[in-house]
Amino acid sequence: PRRVVVVGGGLAGHTAAAALRAEGFDGGLTVLGAEPHPPYDRPPLSKELLAGTVDDTTLQADLRADLDVDLRLRCRALRLRAGTVESTEGVHPYDAVILATGSSPIGLGGTSRAVHALRTVADARRLRAALRDGASVAVVGAGWIGNEVATRAAALDRKVTVIDAAPAPLARALPGAVGEQLVPWYAEQGIDLRLNTPVTGLDDHGVSLAGGGRVDADIVVTGIGARPDTGWLRGSGVPLAPDGAVDADATLRTGPGPVYAAGDIVRWPSRLFGGRIRVEHWDHAAASAQTAARNVLGRDEPYDPVPYFWSDQLGHRLQYVGHHDGAERLVLRGHPSDSWTALWVSGRRLRAALAADNPRDVRDARRLIAGRLPLSVEHAADPAVRLTDA
Ligand code: FAD
């Protein structure tokens, strides 16, 4: 291709542009980003940036200065047509395009100033300022981001309540038997956890609950999940899954024509795990963007990673490796009051692991999953046996 357009100025867009240059592409390269900031990292937004130890998470490698990229900020793609992207700034012709528009938080309605969602650095700075002033915080959603925000707010000595409609934390991502392991952690951080508690409304003074109850709070933070930002692709011919994901093949190519996708928006067929998968992970955003970039240049490489994700929350480090959908058995190894690991197994194959404060299990699990190595469930349940010896 002579001209490549990357749509989305997040981690996947940045990595795709950098990888194209690293692979020797010297044609015209345009990155369209809706935000006013050059690409930055999101994981610290709910961690170090809220804690105040970091203020700027801009990604290294200045696309304009170092990589001769035409980086358009505050520029939103509106439509994709054969050979052109139409944006708020005009028309951008392409020979190949990489879609990397990421995802947006699912809203809960209401326009109260007290209500915060957390996706962008602007969101994070606004929330940090509110946390400085407010005395009490209600977090709606005991998910990854909700728990991280609750942790930082509690560390600032705010009164924190986490509310979730589900019977266990992390219910969108994990089975209840795993999420339940986190329950004691909230009290250890001084956080009040309310499960089985649907929220019916948000306002300037807190949260209304089903059944008529309330949680009064100066600040309300919603963290109930995100959706792929792909509404602008409707009618373009790019195949979209029911949840809005872009359906791609094993090389991350979608269509029509030379159209590729990377990051949070892409759903791809996984040979390792069977079926089509989509994940919202930092690691995947970077790795998929590199594969998409190489394939734009004709490499035709399959994308078949072992997904990896981490989260620092409630005084613990959680690390997840693999993909557990469709696994036959769940085995818990270790003890809830110490370090523990949840293992998802089918037959003698490990499919996924979630480890709490147990980086060695994560490394071992990754080796077993990637190598399709056999595992004895009986041995694996014993925390004294190393997973790679089980
Ligand atoms: P994004 O980073 O969302 O970037 C997409 C960009 O495209 C955005 O800037 C958006 O404004 C722009 N855009 C959208 N639509 C358009 C359009 N039409 N035209 C132009 N531009 C557009 N992952 C982990 O693995 N570990 C963690 O601990 C972790 N913590 C996180 C904490 C927070 C607060 C958040 C929000 C995410 C966290 N993640 C974490 C997830 C990780 O950050 C994402 O998976 C990753 O950012 C996805 O990268 P992306 O480039 O696909 O999308």
Domain 3-104+226-296 architecture? 3-Layer(bba) Sandwich (3.50)
Query: Residue 110: pLDDT above 80?
Result: no
Contacts of 55 (CB under 8 A, 6+ apart): 49
Q: Please tell me the predicted confidence (pLDDT) of residue 111.
A: 81
Q: 127 phi and psi, to 5 degrees?
A: -65, -40
- 232 Rama class: left (phi>0) / alpha (psi -120 to 50) / beta: alpha
pLDDT digits (tens, 9 = 90+) for 305-332: 999 999 999 999 999 999 999 999 999 9
In angstroms, the CA 269 to CA 249 distance is 6
pLDDT digits (tens, 9 = 90+) for 118-166: 999 999 999 999 999 888 999 999 999 999 999 999 999 999 999 999 9
Query: Mind giving me the DSSP string for 324-347?
Result: -TT-SEEEEEE-TTS-EEEEEEET
Ligand 1 pocket check for 282: Cβ under 6 Å: yes
The top-level CATH class assigned to 315-389 is alpha beta
Q: Please tell me the predicted confidence (pLDDT) of residue 86.
A: 98
Tell me the CA–centroid distance for residue 26 and ligand 1, in Å.
Answer: 27
Contacts of 375 (CB under 8 A, 6+ apart): 345, 348, 349, 350, 368, 387, 390
Task: Give the residue extent of every domain in the chain.
Answer: 3-104+226-296, 107-222, 315-389
Q: Please tell me the predicted confidence (pLDDT) of residue 286.
A: 98
Same fold for the pair 3-104+226-296 and 107-222: yes
Confirm if 15 and 109 have CB atoms less than 8 A apart.
no
Query: Residue 335: pLDDT above 90?
Result: no
Query: Residue 74: pLDDT above 80?
Result: yes
Q: Please tell me the predicted confidence (pLDDT) of residue 336.
A: 79
Q: What is the residue with the minimal CA distance to atom 39 of ligand 1?
A: 43
Tell me the CA–centroid distance for residue 102 and ligand 1, in Å.
Answer: 5
pLDDT digits (tens, 9 = 90+) for 172-224: 999 999 999 999 999 999 999 999 999 999 999 999 999 999 999 999 999 99
pLDDT digits (tens, 9 = 90+) for 237-288: 999 999 999 999 999 999 999 999 999 999 999 999 999 999 999 999 999 9
Contacts of 26 (CB under 8 A, 6+ apart): none
Mutate to test the pocket of ligand 1, among 172, 264, 279 (most ligand atoms within 8 A of CB): 264
Query: Residue 98: pLDDT above 80?
Result: yes
Give Cα 231 to chain centroid, integer Å. Answer: 19
Tell me the CA–centroid distance for residue 264 and ligand 1, in Å.
Answer: 7
Ligand 1 pocket check for 223: Cβ under 6 Å: no
Burial class (CB in 10 A: 0-12, 13-18, 19+), 178: buried
Q: Please tell me the predicted confidence (pLDDT) of residue 191.
A: 98
Q: Please tell me the predicted confidence (pLDDT) of residue 227.
A: 97
pLDDT band at 337 (very low <50, low <70, confident <90, very high): confident
Between the alpha carbon of residue 258 and those of residues 81, 84, 365, the distances in Å are: 12, 11, 36
Which among 295, 288, 204 is positioned nearest to 246, based on CA atoms? 288
Q: Please tell me the predicted confidence (pLDDT) of residue 104.
A: 97
ipTM over 0.90: yes
In angstroms, the CA 65 to CA 50 distance is 30
Name the CATH topology of 107-222.
FAD/NAD(P)-binding domain (3.50.50)
In angstroms, the CA 147 to CA 49 distance is 15
Ligand 1 pocket check for 309: Cβ under 6 Å: yes
